Structure 1
Amino acid sequence: MLNVLEPRHPQPSVATTLEITDITADVRHLQGFDHHEQVWLGRDTARGLTAIVSVHTTVLGPALGGTRIWPHTSFESGIIDALRLSRGMTFKSAIAGLPLGGGKAVIIADAKTEKTPAMLEAYAEMLNTLQGQYITAEDVGMTLADADFLAERAPNVSGTTKGGSGNPSPFTAEGTFVGLKAALRHRTGSDDLAGVRVAVQGLGSVGWSLCQKLHTEGAVLTVCDLDAVRTARAAETFGATVVSGDAIIAAGVDIFAPCALGGILSADTIPLLKAKIVAGAANNQLATAEDGQRLVTRGILYAPDYVINAGGVINVAAEMGDGGYDVATVTPRVARIADTLSAIFQRADSEGRTTDAVAEAMAREIVEAARK
């Protein structure tokens, strides 16, 4: 059973420079809005904070989802990102069997140049007002040290050093790895990776860890990343072929593993794919709902992102149980991602539906059952 905090109405104290506004009604027309319960805007000009917290649903429990710090080119794109990611978190937790709803936060800033202690202080104030509704953890641009910093100032922060679960990336990578092997087994009848060509897009914590696992089992790697130091290290460590970000989608490989930001699979990019399996850790890989069918039309097996990348949230959720964090309970739950994906692949085949449609239907069935 999770330790759920009592809800507090989001009103900042008189002394703060933070302003929190309920913008739910204002974003209903945007792409990605799906009957979201609440969307909050936190703004503190003095401390450099512009944060969107999107709560998709709390039917299964408090909304859990990481905080992403990213320099979106527009305020609207930041909101759409938060909407889509929070809905994905609902589906992710539901299919993983977690008593959690879906939420996500996006801070519009460059994590390398604009993230400051003052900005995080302001964000911690915002988190305090959302106790009982939203629990956060790490995501792109948010480090374990940042989570620890926030946890010292707000109780609704997970994935921390003190909580015990720490960095969720290794568990996300492990779930992606076993899910990738499940996809390979479904497609070819074997999950032997020796000689299998895999393109990994993005060499952050998850992408790098995934490369290590793939390399150990004999996969032949092609990689890309914005950081030339990382790609050079991958070439030296794994014997990986380095290509540009534009070229990775069309690489001559068996499996494409997107591990960077979302929206990579679209009407423009899907025709370029040579891989026959897409299995990676990135969120929101499909640019539109129609892209799942585009993959099927091209004979490409797709592992739905919020199923294959659930290892991180499974790990973070374990820290919120009454008994405290125990890695021994996490490992078998992450391993079951492979079984879940195999069931999705089989159901998609038997029903003549796309894998993403089947996964979404499964998640919505769980949520609707909880409403009754």
Structure 2
Amino acid sequence: MTAFVFNEVNFDNHEQVVFASEPKSGLRAIIAVHNTNLGPAMGGCRMWNYATEAEAVRDALRLSRGMTYKNAVAGLPIGGGKSVIIGNPKTDKTPALFEALGEALERLGGRYVTAEDIGTSPADMAYVAGKTKFVAGLGDRGDPSPFTALGCFVGAQAAVKHQLKRDSFDGLTVAVQGLGHVGYDYARRLHAAGAKLVVADIDQASLKRAQEEFGATVVDVNAIYDVEADIYAPCALGATLNTDTMKRLKVKIVAGAANNQLATPDIGDLCRQQGILYAPDFVINAGGIIKVCYEYMNTPEDGMDAHVRRIGDTLAEVFARADAEGVSTSVIADRLAEEKFKK
């Protein structure tokens, strides 16, 4: 296992990887701390029924590294980390499980701060908080999803201005994949700005609501890649940009909220070759972590909205540098992050 961890492509000089086990509660967790140069590592706790321990480790390392880049580009005084719990979030949750996680975090002394993520909730984090203060986003100060959606919206504005030389969404068609908390609010903002929406989701209630509220056109989840649109907005699962879907896309811009949108790094180059402007995911979707960080650090929130809106300025810089240097936007986004957190 040790050889696997150190040789894993996403290990990337992680500072610390902790295997937390507590037999009474059944806790089996991996806590990955990638980089703390800018401050304590922060990133959510995911609970997933991983097929193998190796798969769980790989996910923790990949997500932890991604948080370092996201937090750095967002200009936050925090590093990157992530935790994953091996288990079925529908059947294996108990208060004792999350209390045991809290005890494990407490032993780290603040090097890593957790929050909710896929498979966990503010209620679960409340049990964690009973054992440690190193937990953020407890839900008592509002859902971060609207801030993620706001960041995506201003990011899409920057992309439209750069790629289409336009200052508005009037008459543009946006293909939105995923109408969860973030995707739906993003769609609402696009509709209010004059965009025509084509939407796809597995949840029929969300689709019906989007039809009624936005006049959205509904397509099958797999057909979203074939829609003729100006913008493709992936807001559900990651890795939807791959060699197969890239052949099908008929858009000029990719600007969505999903994490890890590129199946492999070279897809960023493929976007450039096909004339598609890609808004790097960890830049455009940072609004939520900005809100959570402000809350955890007790930073006055009167500057939070402006901080989220600066995502548009950051993307404008990414797009301009990519053009000037003749490389993909994903390469520039990585460099921008590394300029901030590498010492």
Does the Cα contact within 8 Å between 2:99 and 2:130 map onto a contact in 1? no
Amino acid of the residue matched to residue 274 of structure 2? R
- 1:1-372 to structure 2, matched below 5 A, reads 26-44=4-22, 46-161=24-139, 164=141, 166-321=142-297, 324-368=298-342, 371=343
Q: CA offsets per residue over residues 171-212 of structure 1, 9 Å max, x none?
A: 111111110111111111113112211122222211111111
Amino acid of the residue matched to residue 163 of structure 2? R
Does the Cα contact within 8 Å between 1:175 and 1:310 map onto a contact in 2? yes
Q: How far does residue 46 in structure 1 lie from its aligned partner after superposition?
A: 4.4
Q: How far does residue 129 in structure 1 lie from its aligned partner after superposition?
A: 2.0
Q: CA offsets per residue over residues 70-111 of structure 1, 9 Å max, x none?
A: 333443333222212111111111111111111112223343
Q: Distance in 2 between matches of 1:310 and 1:156?
A: 20
Q: CA offsets per residue over residues 18-55 of structure 1, 9 Å max, x none?
A: xxxxx765412223221111122223454343322211
Q: CA offsets per residue over residues 263-297 of structure 1, 9 Å max, x none?
A: 11112221121121111111111111111101111
Aligned residues, how many?
A: 343
Q: Distance in 1 between matches of 2:9 and 2:50?
A: 16
Amino acid of the residue matched to residue 125 of structure 2? A
Gaps of 5+ in 2: none
Structure with a larger share of its residues in helix? 2
Does the Cα contact within 8 Å between 2:98 and 2:125 map onto a contact in 1? no
Q: Which one is further off, 353-362 or 191-200?
A: 191-200
Does the Cα contact within 8 Å between 1:24 and 1:40 map onto a contact in 2? no
Q: Distance in 1 between matches of 2:263 and 2:289?
A: 23
* Secondary structure of 1:28's aligned partner: helix
Amino acid of the residue matched to residue 203 of structure 1? L
Where in structure 1 do 4 or more consecutive aligned residues deviate above 6 Å? none
Q: What TM-score comes out, normalization by structure 1 length?
A: 0.86
Percent of aligned positions that are identical = 50
Q: How far does residue 327 in structure 1 lie from its aligned partner after superposition?
A: 2.5
Q: What TM-score comes out, normalization by structure 2 length?
A: 0.93
* Secondary structure of 1:336's aligned partner: helix
Gaps of 5+ in 1: 1-22
Q: Distance in 2 between matches of 1:267 and 1:210?
A: 26
Q: Summarize the Cα distance change of 1:250–1:80 in structure 2 as closer, same or farther, 3 Å threshold.
A: farther
Does the Cα contact within 8 Å between 1:24 and 1:38 map onto a contact in 2? no
Q: Distance in 2 between matches of 1:25 and 1:37?
A: 16
Q: Which one is further off, 306-315 or 135-144?
A: 135-144
